[in-house]
Amino acid sequence: MRLFASALAAVTALALTAATGSQTATGSEPTAGSESTAGSGAATARLPDHYVIPGEKAFPTGVAYDPRSGHYYVGSAQDGTLYRGHVRKPTARVWSPSGKDGRSFTAGMTIDGEGRLYVNGGGTGTLRVYDTSNGSLLTTLHGTKGGFVNDVTVAADGTAYVTDSFKPVVYRLTEDERGRWELEHWLDVDASGIDWIDGQHNLNGIVVVGTDHLLAVQSNTGKLWRVDRSTGRTAEVDLGGHTLVNGDALAWRDGRLYVTQGNLYADPDTQPQVTVVEMNDALTHGRLVDRLVPPEGLLHPSAAALTDHNRLLVVNSQYNRWVAGLPPESLPFTVSSLPLG
């Protein structure tokens, strides 16, 4: 496991070749007929099964959840608008309008332990951090020119890691005691052993697991990579012969990895879905144990965020339509809320 001006041509070409709590284990590999459907459970009946993102051209991308308030935040690929909603209310509202702070596109998002919202800017090469208590911009940082600053995860110690899908680098973002932010080129992906393919969507979703490791999915190859936070050493996770083609966002809880998979790749074996991977303790092996699909289906699921209501928020981005210059397949735009177990 969520592309304007100079970057749009590259992204459109990409679309032709590429894809931005736990469910009960079945004990066997999932098949085409074994998808779980979001449905039952009295404990979750009071929560909506989806949330509406207003706007006929919103094309939502990233999502972040704040457990302190129950709010979630969603960004727009169309114009960079940021929306905020609450898990108990059916519709989100504009929180920060298009163009504010120079924001014109959003990709991956997350919230750290202090309630600060990280918003990646994709092909604009930016990463912004906001104070959610008042909406103020704390910093704007820039990645490598020509890159696509895609997904972000924050460790318990406050260190953030950011993927660039078009440039072979993983960034590390830190803040010092004086409140000064630094975005450094932390991992040279070319030198790490990861199979990088120029011109395609490579590393995408990234998530911190425990204190020592990161997991990152490669959209174009479907490979899952483990990265040591101390040494930067990488290793491919053994998925038992399976791949996670179109892998976009990653979410982690209780030994299980949730991977959104869209449909930019013309892969008949991969429908839009969330794949559940059960990982061993060493993060060297993973077993595909479930697929999550709501009854109404998913429309190019991009970002995902786990809530404290044993649910997974999944953005129906329709991003495949956006990069192709097509209108949305369905309105309104929504974020699905999938109960887990």
Q: Taking 70 as the threshold, does the pLDDT of residue 17 lie above it?
A: no
Residue numbers of the domain that contains 269: 5-339
pLDDT attached to residue 41: 44
Q: Virtual CA dihedral for 90, 95, 98, 102, nearest 10 degrees? A: -150
Q: What is the pLDDT of residues 123-148, one digit of tens each?
A: 999 999 999 999 999 999 999 999 99
* Rounded percentage of the chain residues whose pLDDT exceeds 90: 82
Residue 126, classed as helix, strand or coil, is: strand
Q: Is the pLDDT of residue 85 over 70?
A: yes
Q: Is residue 37 scored above 50 in pLDDT?
A: no
Average pLDDT along the chain: 88
- Whether pLDDT at 226 is above 60: yes
Based on C-alpha coordinates, what's the Rg of the chain? 18
Q: Which of 261-270, 272-281, 290-299 has the lowest mean pLDDT?
A: 261-270
Residue scoring higher pLDDT (280 or 269): 280
**Per-residue pLDDT, 263:** 78
Rounded to 5°, the CA angle 208-311-57 comes to 90
Q: Has residue 25 got a pLDDT over 90? A: no
Q: Domain of 183: which CATH number?
A: 2.120.10.30
| Residue partners of 295: CB distance under 8 A and separation at least 6 | 37, 38, 39
What's the number of domains the chain is made of?
Answer: 1
For residue 259, is pLDDT > 90? yes
CB 132 within 8 A of CB 66: yes
pLDDT recorded at residue 269: 61
12-26, 91-105, 236-250: which range is least confident on average? 12-26
pLDDT value for 36: 45
The answer, yes or no, to whether residue 63 has pLDDT greater than 80, is yes
Question: Which residues, 6 or more positions from 230, have their beta carbon under 8 angstroms from its beta carbon?
Answer: 212
Q: What is the pLDDT of residue 7?
A: 37
Q: What's the pLDDT score for residue 271?
A: 84
**pLDDT at residue 40 is higher than 50:** no
What is the rounded average pLDDT of the residues 64-91? Answer: 97
pLDDT of residue 161: 98
Query: Once rounded to an integer, what is the mean pLDDT over residues 91-114?
Result: 97
**pLDDT at residue 289, rounded to an integer:** 97
pLDDT band at 267 (very low <50, low <70, confident <90, very high): low
3-state secondary structure (DSSP) of residue 298: coil
Q: Which of 41-45, 112-116, 188-192 has the lowest mean pLDDT?
A: 41-45
Are residues 160 and 118 in contact, defined by beta-carbon separation less than 8 angstroms?
Answer: yes
Q: Is the pLDDT of residue 26 over 60?
A: no
Per-residue model confidence (pLDDT) at position 44: 44
Can you give the pLDDT at residue 43?
46
**H or E element in which residue 48 lies:** none
Q: Is 80 exceeded by the pLDDT of residue 38?
A: no
Q: What is the pLDDT of residue 341?
A: 77
**Distance between the two ends of the chain, CA-based, in angstroms?**
22
State the pTM of this model.
0.87
Which pLDDT does position 193 carry in this prediction?
A: 93
> How is residue 285 annotated by DSSP?
B
